[in-house]
Amino acid sequence: MTANTTTQTAVSYTDLLRDNRNFRYLWFGQIVSLLGDWFNLVASAALVGMLTQSGLAVGSLFVVRMLAPFLVSPIAGVVADRYNRKHILIASDLIRAAVVLAILLVRDPGDVWILYTLTAVQIAMTGFFDPAHTAILPDISSPHELGAVNALSSATWSVMLALGAALGGLFSGIFGMYPAFVLDTFTFLLSAALLAQVRMPAKLASAAADKTVAAAVRQYFNGLRYLRAHLDVLIVALQKASMALFLATAFQVIQVAIAQQVFIVGQGGGISMGLMFGLTGVGSGLGPILARKLTGDDPRSLKEGIAYGYVIAIAGIMVTAPLLSLPIVLLGSFVRSIGSGIIWVFSTHLLLQMAPDEVRGRVFASDFMFFYLGSALASSLVGAALDTSLTISSIIWFLAAISVVPTILWTLWVMRGRREVV
């Protein structure tokens, strides 16, 4: 990875948290909300697996988790550019709190459809939350803070995946799944209370926006036209989808199968599943932080870093594929997540640099929409493959092989950009 000596981190993470009150409360709210989110994911996957004993049913849960925000993304992008982003975040948390509590109604295989329905509503609210959360970052930080804000916010997502998934796996494995849903409810409520402390700037981009439905439709299509007219932005916005389709979400479905069929530790494989998701979080959190020390916030170095991220992720998948032992699988999960974390964080920061405020919400909604579509496709395909005669190991090897395609395509695009600069 190319070292960058001219672009330095403009502000330290400790200075950022000490001096920027708004980001501090946003960050605290993110920590609490994500802790419950990953409790919820592990508990939901374990519950579906235990009730149905079906890989396709587990894969379908991941499909629901990705299709729901995909379907609301067009609306979510417009909403993030038209209304107070802080209010969107709080409303999303409150609705998710009520929905998660209702999962306690799921008690037998015939109730699984209830879990799918509630999960769809919960994650649809996440579809509103995520683009608004990313789009709000420049609203509450100065330009010289933005690199640190994005890196810390993205790393927090990963760290809380590690902590939340590990605790969720241990908690579910020891006490069962239902207490995890109760805890998740309280985390969303606490997150909403923390977000309420954020003070938005007096002038919002959406304050004078036309609030009619016709205007909303025009804004949505204007956002699509912006992406079509800016191919460089569109290509960067497709990287999360590529990562999900080849490197991330497909692998998450396989992790559930590994925990429940190969290395079973705890009730429903909850402990082994939590360990895998936990190390995934550690890797995806540490990877971008360490890589950013080499790249800084220079766009060219960030693009090169994404190429290295693809290579590292493929290496992690190859380490996992033989399924030699649980420790080796954990190592492979860790290495893979370093690469995917770099792709996620660096592509997000590139979009923060490239997208103007008036379309930022729609750009990130499209970014997440592509990601959710790729995730849903990966979940359905891998879930179906797990119910065939194919072995888990052979499916993982296939993922490693086809992941070479996006790696080559991105590298060629970066090399073309370097030639054009020269």
pLDDT one-digit tens code per residue, 61-91: 877 877 787 788 778 777 777 778 888 999 9
**pLDDT tens digits for 140-191?**
887 777 777 877 887 777 677 667 666 766 776 677 678 878 888 888 999 9
- Whether 392 maps to a domain, the answer reads yes
| For range 250-264, the mean pLDDT | 83
The average confidence (pLDDT) of the chain is 80
Q: What is the pLDDT of residue 300?
A: 86
pLDDT band with cut points at 50, 70 and 90 for residue 216:
low
For residues 390 and 201, the model is more confident at 390
pLDDT band with cut points at 50, 70 and 90 for residue 205:
very low
- Whether 205 maps to a domain, the answer reads no
Task: Look up the domain containing 356 and give its range.
Answer: 13-199+210-421
- Whether 4 maps to a domain, the answer reads no
Distance CA(7)–CA(295), nearest Å, equals 8
- Whether 367 maps to a domain, the answer reads yes
Q: What is the pLDDT of residue 227?
A: 82
User: Which CATH number belongs to the domain containing residue 284 in this structure?
Assistant: 1.20.1250.20
Q: What is the pLDDT of residue 165?
A: 64
**pLDDT tens digits for 408-421?**
999 998 887 665 54
pTM of structure = 0.71
Q: What is the pLDDT of residue 152?
A: 80
- Whether 191 maps to a domain, the answer reads yes
- Whether 1 maps to a domain, the answer reads no
**pLDDT tens digits for 383-404?**
888 888 888 899 999 989 999 9
For residues 338 and 278, the model is more confident at 338
- Whether 316 maps to a domain, the answer reads yes
- Whether 268 maps to a domain, the answer reads yes
Number of domains in the chain: 1
Q: What is the pLDDT of residue 110?
A: 83
